[in-house]
């Protein structure tokens, strides 16, 4: 049985104290940050806004822009005859070769294929140069100010810089796409190799997935200039954290990420505010085959609060009182949002429990007439 969601929380007895263990935490990286994936709240940071080379963690932004731009991922891209593979990590794409967007996304995020990044940039924007402009425009749109992008793959280039904070927020945005979350935990993927008798098989480079309990993403990166970089995520008891470490010495990026994640899960607690399937409200329907219908959540809402916090977030609804049919249950009709005690907000879409077809007065007359015919003839 679905439970009716009652959004009456009163923030009384507000007592917020922050754990002091952050002072004792030392992360051996040029920069790092840990955030709550739900609200974007910064849980720990050191030099989080310092602009640094990101290496292949760049590809998180590339994937985000592809998912944002392409609805049908079975769409194919044919590489131009003058396609110039930048080399290094890749799947040996060739001029004139055709691949699906989906296959290229898996190659991008698992194999860290630079040529897949090039191909996706061409598919989305026509040229790599136009795609780079899209990258910079998107970070500006997200309100991120530490980044300047020069290519879609992350190989060292003058001025190709971002920050741990920007990367964490870009990752948070990418996680809104279910396919992104699916790709980053996939162990291997097979894609065609037209000029070869064998298919290509790509494997996930991210060892953090097997090293840390609850790990569920995201992307490694390395160049001589950038050093070892890692964007990672982990979920425990519904609380998902995103961590970024840049330029870790001596291949210690996994170890440093474990320390960062441990701090987050020990210092913050998951607070579940709502569950998937909760009925948020009943919506009046005009000209539909139903007069009212439930508005529901399709996802749990869990945020991170300090372990000793007693703060009770208050729900804010953005929802129409009525809607006109036809209505698609897969399209959001509004949202519910909560803020933590320092003002970070999680906003989750609200959907109709089922689709509604249009039903007008003319439809009613037609139905009555049909029943009359069936009854007497």
Q: How far is CA 15 from the centre of its chain?
A: 32
Which fold does the domain 1-28+272-377 belong to in CATH?
Peptidoglycan synthesis regulatory factor (PBP3), Domain 2 (2.60.410)
**pLDDT for the residue 106:** 98
CB-based contacts of 67: which residues, under 8 Å, 6+ apart? 105, 174, 177, 179, 180
**pLDDT for the residue 10:** 30
CB-based contacts of 374: which residues, under 8 Å, 6+ apart? none
Any idea where the domains of the chain sit in the sequence? 1-28+272-377, 29-251
Q: Is the pLDDT at 5 greater than 50, yes or no?
A: no
The CATH code of domain 29-251 reads: 3.40.710.10
Query: What is the pLDDT confidence band of residue 16, given thresholds at 50, 70 and 90?
Result: very low
**pLDDT for the residue 22:** 55
pLDDT tens string 113-143: 999 999 999 999 999 999 999 999 999 999 9
CB-based contacts of 296: which residues, under 8 Å, 6+ apart? 2, 277, 278, 279, 280, 350, 351, 352, 353
Q: Are strands 98-100 and 76-78 parallel, antiparallel or unpaired?
A: antiparallel
- Please report which residue ranges of 142-287 form alpha helices under DSSP H: 164-174, 178-183, 208-211, 253-267
Buried b (16+ CB within 10 A) or exposed e, 48-84: bebbbbbbbbbbbbbbbbbbeebeeeeeebebeeebe
**pLDDT for the residue 24:** 79
Other Cβ atoms within 10 Å of 252 Cβ, number: 16
Q: 33: helix, coil or strand?
A: strand
**Catalytic center residues:** 56, 59, 112
pLDDT tens string 153-185: 999 999 999 999 999 999 999 999 999 999 999
pLDDT tens string 276-299: 999 999 999 999 988 999 999 999
pLDDT tens string 24-78: 799 999 999 999 999 999 999 999 999 999 999 999 999 999 999 999 999 999 9
Q: 208: helix, coil or strand?
A: helix
């Amino acid at each position: 049985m679905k439970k009716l969601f009652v959004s009456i929380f009163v923030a009384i007895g507000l007592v917020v104290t922050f754990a002091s263990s952050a002072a004792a935490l030392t992360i051996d990286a040029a920069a790092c940050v840990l955030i709550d994936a739900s609200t974007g709240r910064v849980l720990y940071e050191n030099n989080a806004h310092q602009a640094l080379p990101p290496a292949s963690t760049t590809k998180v932004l590339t994937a985000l822009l592809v998912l944002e731009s392409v609805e049908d991922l079975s769409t194919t891209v044919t590489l131009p005859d003058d396609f110039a593979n930048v080399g290094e990590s890749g799947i040996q794409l060739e001029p004139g070769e055709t691949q699906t967007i989906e296959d290229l996304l898996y190659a991008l995020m698992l194999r860290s294929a630079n040529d897949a990044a090039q191909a996706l940039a061409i598919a989305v924007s026509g040229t790599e140069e136009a795609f780079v402009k899209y990258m910079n425009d998107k970070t500006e749109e997200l309100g991120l100010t530490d980044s300047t992008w020069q290519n879609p793959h992350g190989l060292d280039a003058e001025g190709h810089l971002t920050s741990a904070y920007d990367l964490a927020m870009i990752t948070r945005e990418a996680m809104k796409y279910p396919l992104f979350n699916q790709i980053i935990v996939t162990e291997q993927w097979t894609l065609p190799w037209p000029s070869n008798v064998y298919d290509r098989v790509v494997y996930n480079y991210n060892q953090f997935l097997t090293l840390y309990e609850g790990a569920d993403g995201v992307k490694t990166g390395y160049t001589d200039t950038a050093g070892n970089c890692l964007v990672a995520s982990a979920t425990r008891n519904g609380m998902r954290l995103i961590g970024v470490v840049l330029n870790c010495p001596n291949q210690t990026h996994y170890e440093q990420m474990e320390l960062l994640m441990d701090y987050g899960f020990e210092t913050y607690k998951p607070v579940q505010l709502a569950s998937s399937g909760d009925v948020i409200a009943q919506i009046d329907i005009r000209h539909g085959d139903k007069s009212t219908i439930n508005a529901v959540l399709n996802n749990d809402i869990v945020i991170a609060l300090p372990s000793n916090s007693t703060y009770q977030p208050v729900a804010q609804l953005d929802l129409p009182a009525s809607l006109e049919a036809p209505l698609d249950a897969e399209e959001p009709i509004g949202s519910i949002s909560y803020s933590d005690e320092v003002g970070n907000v999680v906003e989750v879409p609200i959907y109709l429990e089922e689709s509604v077809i249009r039903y007008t007065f003319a439809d009613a007359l037609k139905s009555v007439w049909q029943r009359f015919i069936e009854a007497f003839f």
